[in-house]
Amino acid sequence: MRIATWNVNSLRARIDRTLAVLERWDLDVLAIQETKCRDEQFPVGAFADAGYEVAHTGLNQWNGVAIASRVGLTDVATSFPGQPGFLKPEPGGHGDQDAELPAASAPSAPLLDLEPPPEARAIGATCGGVRVWSLYVPHGRALDDPHYRYKLGWLERLRDAARGWAAEEGAQVALLGDWNVIPRDTDVYDVADFAGKTHVSPLERAAFEAFAPAGYTEVTREHVPAEHTYTYWDYQRLAFPRNKGLRIDFAWTTSTVAQRVRGVWIDREERKGKGASDHVPVVLELAD
DNA sequence: ATGTCAGCGATGCGCTGA
């Protein structure tokens, strides 16, 4: 079985490239991030014509995650248990005190719901016997931004949920996506450029590595160990021609899946030419 | 050239997010 993860950075802007990736790599499953569309805008027909079922969650023009599969797609979950939301802080305000109160016709609803709903950053489905999650970890924006705490909490809650999924003997789970963490100094063109920024902080790196004691192995590193091997290049400042990239797309899997991995490929060619995403696909070949 | 890109709202660009 061949499975891949790709932050496509707008599915509608790159549907032709997406279909080409499915065909080029003969993919059975593709975990997609940053579809940037609502469910009703998702190009279901294009996937169906190519022989793929799809599951998607997209609430607005931001985020959006999907799984396409031609080996079955069941038990879809559009968030993970405990997945936090992000409450955009009001300048000088106190949370969502101005939010609409629940209608009086909903007596069971709490008077004030202070918990923001999850964003469209996680979707899970069982494909060909593997529990696949397509994940778009929050960016964090800046170390002093509320989004950074959100990112850390999001990863911690995901790890807590993932620990439970891995607990069953022989569980086949794959956590695929854009982790927005640079785990090692050699995963970036020049770590000095990230001093004081997100993606390299000790807390982010610890939150990333915490998936190991939770029962997971990061299989892309195992199979593509070369330093300065990137999966993302910024659109700005000619980052790709200068190879100023980041390695931030990874696959944490349970040991049963990790033992099945026969190879991993980073599709660097996909970053070339007009209309490329800023991320490239990461492809995993699993033994039957 | 801070050498970009996508989506949105209301345009013929400014804003947001990355």
- Could you tell me if residue A93 is inside a domain? no
Strand B contact at CB of residue A279, distance < 7 A: no
Å between CA of A235 and C1' of B3: 10
Q: Is the CB of A88 under 7 A from strand B?
A: yes
Expressed as residue numbers, the domain containing A252 is 2-88+101-286
The whole-angstrom separation of Cα A8 and Cα A281 is 8
Q: Are A282 and A265 in contact (CB under 8 A)?
A: yes
The pLDDT of residue A102 is 43
Query: Across chain A, which distance is largest between two alpha carbons, in Å?
Result: 60
CA-to-CA distance for A69 and A174, rounded, in angstroms?
Answer: 14
* Residue A255 clears pLDDT 70, i.e. is over it: yes
DSSP string spanning A151-192? HHHHHHHHHHHHHHHH-STT--EEEEEE-----SGGGBS-GG
Q: What nucleotides of chain B have any atom within 7 angstroms of a protein Cβ?
A: 2-8, 17-18
Residue A95 within any structural domain of the chain: no
What pLDDT, in 10s, does the model give residues A20-50?
999 999 999 999 999 999 999 999 999 999 9
Strands A232-233 and A245-246: antiparallel
For residue A16, is it within any domain? yes
Specify the pLDDT at position A59.
96
Q: Which amino acid is at A40?
A: E
- Whether A161 maps to a domain, the answer reads yes
**Statement: the CB of A84 is under 7 Å from strand B:** no
Q: What is the strand order of the sheet A122-127 is part of? A: A74-77, A122-127, A130-136, A173-178, A249-254, A216-218
Across residues A177-202, what is the average pLDDT?
A: 97
Q: Report if residue A138 sits inside a domain.
A: yes
Distance between the alpha carbon (CA) of A284 and the C1' atom of B12, Å: 45
Is any atom of nucleic acid chain B found less than 7 Å from the CB of residue A13?
yes
Total domain count for chain A?
A: 1
Residue nearest to nucleotide B18 (CA to C1'): A139
Residue A96 lies in a domain: no
Distance measured from the CA of protein residue A153 to the C1' of nucleotide B18, in angstroms: 20
pTM of the shown model:
0.93
Q: Is A94 part of any domain?
A: no
pLDDT in tens, A62-75: 999 999 999 999 99
> For A88 and B15, how far is CA from C1' in angstroms?
16
pLDDT at A96: 40
In whole angstroms, B15 C1' to A190 CA is 30
Distances (CA, A) of A42 to A10, A32, A98, A105, A177: 10, 12, 32, 33, 19
Residue-wise pLDDT for A109-137, tens only, equals: 555 667 899 999 999 999 999 999 999 99
Asked if residue A144 belongs to a domain, the reply is yes
Q: Which two tokens stand for residue A78?
A: 């559009």
Residue A1 Cα distances to A30, A220, A286, angstroms: 11, 16, 5
Q: What pLDDT does residue A104 have? A: 45
Please name the nucleotide lying closest to A241, CA to C1'. B3
- List the CATH number of the domain containing A203: 3.60.10.10
Judge residue A6's burial from the number of C-beta atoms within 10 Å of its C-beta, 0-12 exposed, 13-18 middle, 19 or more buried: buried
Say yes or no: Cβ of A205 under 7 A from any atom of strand B: no
Number of alpha carbons in the 13 Å side-chain half-sphere of residue A201:
17
**Over the stretch A149-174, which tens digit does the pLDDT of each residue have?**
999 999 999 999 999 999 999 999 99
Host H or E run for residue A22: helix A15-24
Q: How far is the CA of A149 from the C1' of B2 (A)?
A: 27
pLDDT at residue number A94: 45
B8 C1' – A141 CA distance, angstroms? 21
What local confidence, expressed as pLDDT, does residue A12 receive?
A: 97
- Which residue's C-alpha is at the least distance from the C1' of B1? A237
Average pLDDT value over all residues in chain A? 93
How would residue A175 be classed by pLDDT, with cut points 50, 70 and 90? very high
Helices (H), A131-283: 146-166, 202-209, 219-223, 255-258
Amino acid A62 reads W
What pLDDT was estimated at residue A114? 72
